[in-house]
Structure 1
Amino acid sequence: MALGVHLVAEAQDAPQRLPVITLQAGMHNISAQLAKTPEQRQIGLMFRKEMASHEGMLFAFEVPATQCFWMKNTLLPLSAAFVADDGTIVNIEDMAPQTEASHCSKKPVRFVLEMNQGWFAKRGLKAGSRLTGPAFSG
């Protein structure tokens, strides 16, 4: 029995791998892992030591709400784009690794896209920019 508990604990300390969807930000393609269950969203990008520049994670929620994120057990500096149903970026927040500061959407949203910190800024993307892909209705 103790072995089973150890394996579960070990699995929780490893990055999760989720289905990937392709999103676009203008001419830039994003390979985004899709976190859509409460468990997947809670783990997010925790324990990941590296992430390619075109990779990220899209958090999809059931209904629009003020979404707040923190960086507990997250090793990489990230930028989070809070995204409306039509793919419009509401706001972007830079988040420091392994902190518990709360970073929230400025209005209710159903989507949050986490990328390596600075990814959006380097591509000139900001509030009002639009993402496209199968997740968005616009």
Structure 2
Amino acid sequence: MTHRNWLTAGAMCVLTAVIVAAGAYFYSPTPTAADSRVMILPVDPTPLVVATKDGDRSFSIEIADTDAEREAGLMYRQDMADDHGMLFVFDMQQQVNFWMQNTPMPLDLIFIGQDGKIRAVKHGEPQSQALISPGVPVRFVLELKAGTAARNGIDYGDLVRHPAVGTVSGPGMPPSDNGDAPNGGGG
């Protein structure tokens, strides 16, 4: 009888371990493109500032700087504060393409060169698969609630200031290139 209880207990431990391992294998703490969960990243303690011709505009931001974070972005978000956004940080200045599939909220997409200057401001339509591209290489993209750029006077050539923009490292465009040429990496 004692031998039988030991075998049953051992089998239960193995079964429990298999269930836990399977759960860990299928659980992903970062949502994928096919996942319907909203990804919320920590708000960076330093505000992002856009220097416009009418003065500085400040935003609290989440920073998406990994492939998984950039892929999930603001998908599935229903709403966001007017002074909040997400800054996408790429490893190098390159051509990028965004789309709004699985994003129910209209957005402003602000494309920023390695030097912190805005290269383009585009608008994203909810749930659209249309590609949104600045047409020039960029290092950063700031997504804000639709209409925020116009209300705050944010436009081409304005300067974006934030430690993530000022301290990027890695390969980029040569210093003599102002980022306006239509060359660069794939996006």
Q: Quote the sequence identity (%).
A: 35
- Alpha-carbon RMSD across the aligned residues, in angstroms, is 2.1
Higher relative contact order (CA 8 A, sep 6+): 1
| Residue 16 of structure 2 corresponds to residue 16 of structure 1 | no
TM-score by length of 2: 0.67
Mapping of residues 1-138 of structure 1, within 5 Å = 4=23, 12-21=35-44, 22-26=47-51, 27-137=56-166
CA distance in 2, matches of 1:125, 1:41: 23
Structure 2 unaligned segments of length 5 or more: list them. Answer: 1-18, 168-187
User: Across the two proteins, how many residue pairs are aligned to each other?
Assistant: 136
Q: Secondary structure at the match of 1:72?
A: coil
Structure 2 residue matching 1:42: 3-state secondary structure: helix
Identify the range of structure 1 (19-28 vs 89-98) with the bigger mean alpha-carbon deviation: 19-28
Report the Cα distance in structure 2 between the residues aligned to 1:121 and 1:25, rounded to whole angstroms. 13
The Cα of 1:29 is off from its aligned counterpart by 1.3
Give 1:7 deviation, angstroms: 6.0
Deviation per residue, 1:30-64 (Å, 9 max, x gap)? 11110011010000000111100011100001011
Find runs of 4+ consecutive structure 1 residues off by over 3 angstroms. Answer: 3-8
CA shift for structure 1 position 20: 2.4
Which has more strand, going by share of residues?
1
TM-score (norm 1): 0.89
